[in-house]
Amino acid sequence: MAWDTIRPLVELRHIALMLKIAHSVLYVRLPVWKIWPGGVVYLADFIHKQRPDIRQEILDLALIEPGQRRARLRERLLDLRPDVVAFSWRNMQTFGPHPENDALEVVMSFDHSPILWRRAKATWDAIGIIWDYAAARLRNFGYLRLARRLLPDARLAVGGTAVSIFGKYVARKCPTDTVVVIGEGEQAMLSIVDGFTSPAGHHWYKDRSGNIAHSNADESFDLAQLTAVDFRYIESIFHGFREYLDGTIGVHTKRGCPFQCHFCLYNKIEGDRQRYRDPVEVAKEVETLSTVYGVKHIWFTDAQFCSTKRSTRHVEAILDEMIAREVKVRWTGYLRLNHLTRDIAAKMLMSGLESIDLSFTGTQEVIDSLTLGYDLEQQMAAFRLFKEAGYTDQQVKLYMPLNAPGETRQTLKATIERIHELYGLFGRDNVLPFIFFIGVQPDTPIERKLIAAGYLAADYNPLTLNPFVIKKLLYNPQPLGRMIGRAYLEAYESRGAADDYVGRATMEILEHQLATSEPGSGSGAPVVAAFNEA
């Protein structure tokens, strides 16, 4: 063969080597409490549609016994020898308030229990939780280092929500030649498999010598490109796929949130501009999950499923499609009811709304102090629209930022009154008030406010292992903190005997406290008896 004929081929090969075009990708979902790995599924599906020749595999460490995770990762790395190892890291700070989460009970006991042995036990439990928390983080970095050691030439990438929040920290701790992707991953992954030396999107890059560079970019991926997931393909590359089908599957309909609620960083993770998937593709995805795989529960994993006027119209289009296809699923997602109409409420119910999940506080003062950007009366009117539109037995889950800045005894009482209104509307058993304190998150307005007020040190570390700082990140200050904390502990203690839901019981104990105790006093009359009678 003449040189002129082969030269372009040689050059192409040279360019390919230089660019490290990938032929194989191993996605490693780092361990979490078992939950559908939506992020890597969308990424793998997108890369497959764009570059069908690339061989991909998903290894989900959440499905593997802790003692076997390292060995399994080693085996898949050596077996597949992927050109790219893409780690997905969802949670790094799991102390976020959750009513059934031990961490909340431990903090409450430590700070507020009047019983000495409970406080001592809480101290011991706290050490255990912090140990787990630190060890999980160290183990995850260990998995990244293992990949680098076994495959010195592979390109490593790491993304996911934890990385989107703590990217700079991850970049400092990760092995060399690793791309640390902030926010959505499609464009970045595509550029990585294409071997670009400078990946697309917002990222940090630690080069082979350990130097770290930062490249900023807005979230701009066109979500119309996210067509319905090809689950047959996903099943073929993801051995654990079927293990999730009897639970709740996350489906994405849009990204971005234009609001700026004081405690929230979803608008940082997803960007502040709402971008939408095609409603037909979303409905097709849900339909396939239901009819082919028998999935019964869907969580629409958007920052907010409906919030702005435009997004509410988008939701309506999705629901219309689901109804037209007669998809039989129960679904939910975070809802704001700003633009709800009777028609949309009816469509929500008709298409399988399982629960109404939303932030709730019962006064306009606290809504405004948290810049939640909605009107309380309008929200209450929207609840009534559900009732008029044929509500049956859907749960109403109220995520209540109790004791947020601006909370007083009066606002607490007003919130309790509103909860009673909701009990009246939907039935007491269907309304679940979640005791939800504000979790202070990095780079949010509330964090800035609390630093300015001296509550947090300006140089505090959001990933600290110091229990006293961790405790502060669950914002429940005095004077109301003790009363709420003790009500919660009492509800938690007596929940079994009273056969009641802990959040509801806490609110009832608080109601009694507020009625019987003097302003300023931390405790009040004993209330277990009153609660047990409720």
Q: Does 437 bind ligand SF4 (CB under 6 A)?
A: no
Smaller CB separation from ligand SF4, 140 or 359: 359
**Residue 127 CA to its chain's centroid (Å):** 25
- Kindly tell me which residue out of 44, 77, 86, 286 binds ligand B12, with binding defined by CB under 6 A: 86
Q: Does 274 bind ligand B12 (CB under 6 A)?
A: no
Q: Does 91 bind ligand B12 (CB under 6 A)?
A: yes
- Kindly tell me which residue out of 101, 220, 371, 408 binds ligand B12, with binding defined by CB under 6 A: 101
Give the range of 53-61, 130-138, 300-308, 382-390 binding ligand SF4 by CB under 6 A.
Answer: 300-308
Question: What are the tokens at 509?
Answer: 């104990």
Phi, psi of 92 (to 5 degrees): -120, -35
Minimum gap (Å) between residue 264 Cβ and ligand SF4: 3
User: Rounded to an integer, what distance in angstroms lies between the CA atom of residue 167 and that of residue 95?
Assistant: 19
- For the residues of 63-75, what is the DSSP string, one character each? GS-GGGHHHHHHH
String marking each residue 163-202 x if it binds ligand SF4 according to CB under 6 A: ----------------------------------------
User: Rounded to an integer, what distance in angstroms lies between the CA atom of residue 76 and that of residue 137?
Assistant: 21
Give the range of 160-168, 299-307, 375-383, 394-402 binding ligand SF4 by CB under 6 A.
Answer: 299-307
The strand pair at 203-206 and 178-181 is best described as: antiparallel
Spatial CB neighbours of 147, under 8 Å, sequence gap ≥ 6: 28, 73, 77, 85, 87, 154, 156, 175
Minimum gap (Å) between residue 334 Cβ and ligand B12: 7
Q: Which of 291, 214, 232, 225 is nearest to 252 (CA)?
A: 225
Smaller CB separation from ligand SF4, 438 or 507: 438
Q: Is residue 199 within 8 Å of residue 231, measured between CB atoms?
A: no
**Single-letter amino acid, residue 56:** Q
Query: Which residues, numbered 33-62, are part of the site for ligand B12 (CB under 6 A)?
Result: 33, 35-36, 38-40, 42-43
Give the range of 136-144, 208-216, 252-260, 461-469 binding ligand SF4 by CB under 6 A.
Answer: 252-260
Question: What are the tokens at 495?
Answer: 């929940």
Q: Alpha helices, DSSP H only, in 370-478?
A: 376-388, 409-426, 445-452, 467-472
Phi, psi of 377 (to 5 degrees): -65, -35
Minimum gap (Å) between residue 264 Cβ and ligand B12: 8
- For the residues of 457-498, what is the DSSP string, one character each? -TT--TT---HHHHHHTEE--TTHHHHHHHHHHHHHHHHHHH
What b-and-e string marks burial along 367-376, b requiring 16 or more CB atoms within 10 Å of the CB? bebbebebeb
Q: Does 82 bind ligand B12 (CB under 6 A)?
A: no
Minimum gap (Å) between residue 97 Cβ and ligand SF4: 14
| Strand-pair partners of 212 | 206
The strand pair at 431-436 and 212-215 is best described as: unpaired
Q: Does 366 bind ligand SF4 (CB under 6 A)?
A: no
Query: Which residues, numbered 305-334, are part of the site for ligand SF4 (CB under 6 A)?
Result: 307
Q: Does 257 bind ligand SF4 (CB under 6 A)?
A: yes
Q: Binds 304, which of ligand B12, ligand SF4, none (CB < 5 to 8 A, cut-off by type)? A: ligand SF4
Minimum gap (Å) between residue 382 Cβ and ligand SF4: 15
Minimum gap (Å) between residue 459 Cβ and ligand B12: 20
Query: Which residues, numbered 455-514, are part of the site for ligand SF4 (CB under 6 A)?
Result: none
User: If you search the block for the tokens 């060399």, which residue do you land on?
Assistant: 176
Query: Which residues, numbered 150-189, are part of the site for ligand B12 (CB under 6 A)?
Result: 157-162, 164-165, 181, 184-186, 188-189
String marking each residue 258-297 x if it binds ligand SF4 according to CB under 6 A: -xxx--x-xx------------------------------
Name all contacts of 371-376 with Cβ < 8 Å and 24+ positions apart.
371/259, 371/260, 371/261, 371/262, 371/445, 372/259, 372/261, 373/259, 373/260, 373/261, 374/336, 374/337, 374/338, 375/338, 376/418
Smaller CB separation from ligand B12, 305 or 531: 305
Binding site for ligand SF4 (CB under 6 A): 257, 259-261, 264, 266-267, 303-304, 307, 336
Binding site for ligand B12 (CB under 6 A): 32-33, 35-36, 38-40, 42-43, 86-88, 90-94, 96, 98, 101, 157-162, 164-165, 181, 184-186, 188-189, 248, 250, 252, 265-266, 269-270, 299, 301, 303, 441
